[in-house]
Amino acid sequence: MTHFAAVVLFAFFASIVFGITQREKPRDMIRYGIYCFVLFVASAIVLSWVMFLIAR
Amino acid sequence: MRPLLVPGSLFPALVRYSQKGMATEENKNAAAGSDAQPGPKSASQPASQQGFVYLPLIVGWLVPGGGHFLLRKWGRGALLGGSILAMFALGIAMQGKLYAGAHDVLDILGLAGDLGNGLLYFVSRIAGWGADQVMVTTADYGTRFIVVAGLLNVIAAVDAHNLRTGRKS
């Protein structure tokens, strides 16, 4: 399993739990879950680029 | 002689919140300014609001999603239980480490996270699943997956408790 695949799986399952537990209405749960998923994956990509540039 | 302080007479418009949660019938009536007093406890509260308040919290901790199943929230329980179970299973499949003892601060934190998995942790320890030491890179990911699954399970159990008390609908 690649690091990116692990990140995507982690973000997917964690976002489901965050969406259900942090919002009350189903529509808000879905929206917040998607929001968390995008933030997880995007921040992982940005941080990995930052670490790559620092390590060069 | 007239009493100096009559309860409720000095601040008749004061909204008094109960300690049972934010979305209870009493709080809704109080916030709406209704003077109607709720009836007896058995008549005003549904059957799901009676009994041991912490049962969904405990069941939710022991079995991922179990607290929501107990409250008949089948969809939420299935999604929560499935997600947490999948994360835990992925962690085990990646040869993640199950923390067994507390040798330093990081081990204590890891053990606390693992214990959040409830019965999954104890069954895995008894069955001998998980690695004793991290040998490969994916095992490090797996260790984090197991710890985070436990922490998410605690969040789910607290959510079930909030549903039970009426703090969340």
Count of structural domains within chain B: 2
Judge whether A13 is closer than 8 Å to chain B, CB to CB.
Answer: yes
From A6, A9, A17, residue closest to B155, measured CB to CB: A17
In whole angstroms, give the CA distance from residue B153 to residue B118.
Answer: 8
Task: Classify residue B23: in a domain, yes or no.
Answer: yes
From B79, B152, B168, residue closest to A14, measured CB to CB: B152
Q: Per-residue confidence at B13, pLDDT binned at 50, 70, 90?
A: very low
Interchain pair B141, A6: CB under 8 A = yes
Residues B59 and B36 in one domain: no
**pLDDT score of B143:** 94
Residue B113 has pLDDT above 70, yes or no: yes
Task: Classify residue B77: in a domain, yes or no.
Answer: yes
Phi, psi of B97 (to 5 degrees): -90, 135
SS3 B97: strand
pTM of the model: 0.77
Q: What ipTM does the predicted assembly reach? A: 0.91
CB proximity list for B87: less than 8 A, separation 6 or greater: A9, A10, A13, A14, B145, B146, B148, B149, B152
Compute the nearest-CA separation of B157 from chain A (Å). Answer: 9
Residues B10 and B32 in one domain: yes
Residue located via tokens 């069941």: B59
Residues B66 and B31 in one domain: no
**pLDDT score of B15:** 42
**pLDDT score of B130:** 84
- Structural domain including B72 reads 55-165
Judge whether B141 is closer than 8 Å to chain A, CB to CB.
Answer: yes
Length of chain A counted residue by residue: 56
Interchain pair A21, B138: CB under 8 A = no
Task: Provide the angle, in degrees to the nearest 10, between the axes of the packed helices B119-127 and B74-93.
Answer: 30
Picking from B70, B49, B37, the residue whose alpha carbon sits closest to that of residue B160 is B70
Q: Minimal Cα distance from B169: which residue of A?
A: A24
Residues B17 and B77 in one domain: no
Interchain pair B152, A17: CB under 8 A = yes
Task: Classify residue B122: in a domain, yes or no.
Answer: yes
Task: Classify residue B50: in a domain, yes or no.
Answer: no
**pLDDT score of B96:** 92
Residues B41 and B61 in one domain: no
